[in-house]
A and B are shown apart, each in its own frame.
Chain A
Amino acid sequence: MADVTFTVDGKKLTAPAGTLLIEACRKAGIEIPAFCYYPGLSLQAACRMCVVRQEKVPKLQTACTTTVAEGQVFVTESPEIAQARKATLQLLLGNHPLDCPVCDAGGECELQDMTFKYGAGESLYAEAKQHRDEQQWSPAVFFDRPRCILCYRCVRMCGEGMDVWALGVQNRGVSSVIAPNGEDHLDCEECGMCIDVCPVGALTSGSYRYKTRPWEMNHVSTICTHCGDGCKVTLGVRQSHEGTDLVRGDNRDKSGINGDFLCAKGRFGFDFVNSEERLARPLVRNASGRLEPTTWENALRVAAAKLKEVRDSRGGDSIAVLGSNRTTNEENYLLQKLARTVLRTNNIDHVRTADYATFARSLAGQEHKAASLRDAGNAPAILLVGGNPTEEHPLLAWQLRSNVRLNKARLYVVNHRTIKLERQAKAVQGVPPNGYRDLTALLDRNEGDLAKAVMAEESLLLIFGQEYRGEQMEALVSWGLKRGNVRFAYLGDHSNSRGAADMGVLPDLLPGYVSVNAPGAFAEEYAGMPAAPGKTAPEFLEMAQSGQLGALVVVGENPAQRLGWAPDALRKTFLVVQDLFLTETALQADVVFPAASLYEKTGTITNTFGDVQLAKKAADRPGVRPDFEILVRLADAMGADVKALVPFGKRGMRADFGQSRGAQSGEADRHAVWLASHGLEPKLSPFDPLAVLDEIERLVPAYKLDRLNLFAGNDVPTEPAFVPVSALTQPRADLVNPAHDGLFTSGTLGRYSAYLREIEEHQAHQLAETAAD
């Protein structure tokens, strides 16, 4: 809408006509207090804190519902307004318990701040306060009724924001009370958004309540380690005798792709970090066959000596490496580089949760066709094919709901089951479970409401689930490319599955999906790399059973559980495991290294949309080390040249002396030239993952990262189109094995999160009760 000019406190402001006054003022740096107003939710005008004086209007107006128009004149601070706000506060404090010294919100409470600002220190209200006992509504949500100021934020967040509608307001006037849908408990998705938006301490979280005072925490912004959406999460960290305790997860600063959104896993599921079952010392199998705690030096020596012996006596082909879906890009990259150049094997794989290789192959050479997760929040039309975002990609579901609600986006859903997002959809098309391949034909024939509407759309964001693999995905993407003005996104599980594939933790593909058969620049970079593609994860098992597998290195994965490998399958194999816990796989290992979780290290991770974000070290735990450091130390103990593995420090001259000038000449090594040309300094430590990030950026064209934004904590997109088209191989779609983790499960991490297990049990109990009714 056209801009209008109006006056606030004597200042001329300009904003589009129809903008809410409170928003226009906030943008101009004029703060108007409000309890009930919350950006993105419907208007309530319940709290009366945002009252302002408008010229020629007899009564004070609420800034949260007043839309700006040409020539209006407002006053936002005056003795009259201060008095009105003070009176409102007096009423709110009338029955407020003022138990701030023990309240979770004390120190970060909007009511406290407002009382401080307007000085409602005295009250005309002399009645006794009505006390009500605190109620527990679910494992996650506690309700303290007297603290509630009835702003309705929680009600609207749960209903409009989450589309759960589990909270309401009952009774009238002074007896009004926030009520859960199950009379005395909540039957909901346990996302904790209601707790997050509560301006006071009325809704408190089971995981955080009475644990700390807000000012005793340090806050570290990092990336959630659970699903493939990669939400930014601000962790509240407190010093403890064990290094640090993680006490809270939220994202109140609304930074990152998720704004203030977090699901149950992101908000509550970090407690696996503080689990009693975390490994704290390396373990080595002793002569009597038992795993025994030992020193890092000894564990590294044993692992390195045996790996070296197997490599030198039986060849690199008899070693295999299984990577992780959760470790950082730098660790994934380093792992495959170590496998290929130190262990000299291409037998490297990970448990593939989605067919990212085919996705890259389908989009090869098609620039600007890959969507960021941000696009889901502002694309005018979205076609969602397969998948179940509400359960498996909560942030995507949030983005789609918000986009439909706030921007009137048109969502089209094609699925073989009923998914919750259909409630937001403009049209829905059911397909049989194996009927996705017919979708493009159906669309082309303009058959049915959905096809007609989709074909009439000018642009389209096409998001598809793990139902699509191999040729079927290629067909869908090529349909979209032919149709034009389509951007694509592919949904996979786990926080860094996309990164594992992008970084070449695959037997046939190098970083950036470069084929092992045509390694290009990697031939020179990866000295000693075997020429033939390696074996896949299921083949590792066959090798182990036939005695061909001399050694297996498993990083952050649990094939015994995830791939159903029999416990004794690896008896004849020397097994090295890096993990947080003594998993079923680690129990079989000869050497176990205790690894740091994503919250205890720095590095980048790539969400399923290809957005790269920087995870920052938030916590510390004695005894554990990041997988990155373990790998570097292992390589060093094997006698490998660490400087060739991790480009750190000044490496002197390297490369072809035959040329006389340029990057390929003997003046400096390629990495140093690249660093210099990008204005970067060499990293000084072999344990600095950012040294490897430099190498990734140098060698993987898709990872041309905007460093300024990355280090500022923003998500930066990758460009999967930058794949060498000539070298594409046919990916193995048959190996894709989705995890389908839901709202309260998260693979190994979820199993060791006591809190997530409690919520899951609670949900199962609710479900059983509903079914019994």
Chain B
Amino acid sequence: MTPRESETMSIFSPALAARFDALVEKYPVKRSALIPMMLYAQDEIGYLSDAVIAEIADRLGLTELDVRNVASYYSMLRFKPAGRFNIQVCTNISCMLRGAYDLFDRFQEELGVGHKGITPDGVFSLEEVECIGACCWAPAIQVNYDFHDELAADSVPGILQQYRERAAANGGR
């Protein structure tokens, strides 16, 4: 097996690059690693940029078209940057019945952006999503990988404040 051409110039952090090296070997067929790789890459880079797609394709011996074909199937994989904190508001039936749209409207007001919008400072992005599996505690939202549940419209400023502080604490990054 010849080494990857761009092996020495990965766009990922050394830790993630090492993780990918291991992941590629893990399955009988290399391309099985495609979906986890895209997700981890998105977590680190923020979205699936052309460079991310090119490197993943290269690592798995696929064409970039192949990678895009799979990536475009999944709504959780993005081709454009999101905010540092991506707020995902579930509006499926349980959440909807318990006031998810009020919640979503309040987020829109507070942030001044709509569905798939990003605040000008890049700290928040907002998204209306399908079920996130927290129906028992509806309405629920997910901020990156953190859950907030049993919410009401009034909980919105508190949640946002919490993340604003975190953003300020480490200089926006």
Residues on A facing B (Cβ under 8 Å) = 165-172, 179-181
Contacts and interface: CB of A to CB of B under 8 A. Distances in A.
Nearest to A166: B65
A181 B72 contact: no
A170 B63 contact: no
Given A170-B72, A171-B72, A171-B73, 4 more contacts: A165-B63, A165-B65, A166-B65, A172-B73
Contacts, number: 27
Interface string B55-78: 000000001111011001111000
Interface residues of B, number: 10
13 contacts: A165-B65, A167-B65, A168-B66, A168-B68, A168-B69, A169-B69, A171-B72, A171-B73, A179-B65, A179-B68, A179-B69, A180-B65, A181-B64
Contacts of B74: 172
B65 A172 contact: no
Contacts of B65: 165-168, 179-181
A171 B75 CA distance: 9
A171 B65 CA distance: 12
A181 B69 contact: no
Interface in B31-50: none
A170 B66 contact: no
A171 B71 CA distance: 8
A624 to B, nearest CB: 45
Give the 8 A-B CB pairs with smallest separation, nearest first: A168-B69, A170-B72, A181-B65, A168-B65, A172-B73, A171-B72, A165-B63, A170-B69
A170 B65 CA distance: 9
Interface in B71-93: 72-75
Nearest to B75: A172
A172 B72 contact: yes
A161 to B, nearest CB: 16
B69 to A, nearest CB: 4
A458 B53 CA distance: 45
Contacts of A172: 72-75
A167 B69 CA distance: 10
B146 to A, nearest CB: 27
Contacts of A170: 68-69, 72-73
Nearest to A155: B69
B38 to A, nearest CB: 14
Contacts of A166: 65
Nearest to B67: A168
Nearest to B50: A183
Contacts of A165: 63, 65-66
B45 to A, nearest CB: 20
Contacts of A180: 65
Contacts of A179: 65, 68-69
B63 A181 contact: yes
Contacts of A169: 69
A542 B75 CA distance: 73
A216 B70 CA distance: 43
A262 B154 CA distance: 67
Contacts of B63: 165, 181
Contacts of A171: 72-73
A187 to B, nearest CB: 10
A179 B65 CA distance: 8
A171 B69 CA distance: 7
A166 B68 CA distance: 12
A166 B69 CA distance: 12
Q: Chain B CB within 10 Å — which of A166, A168, A171 has the most?
A: A168
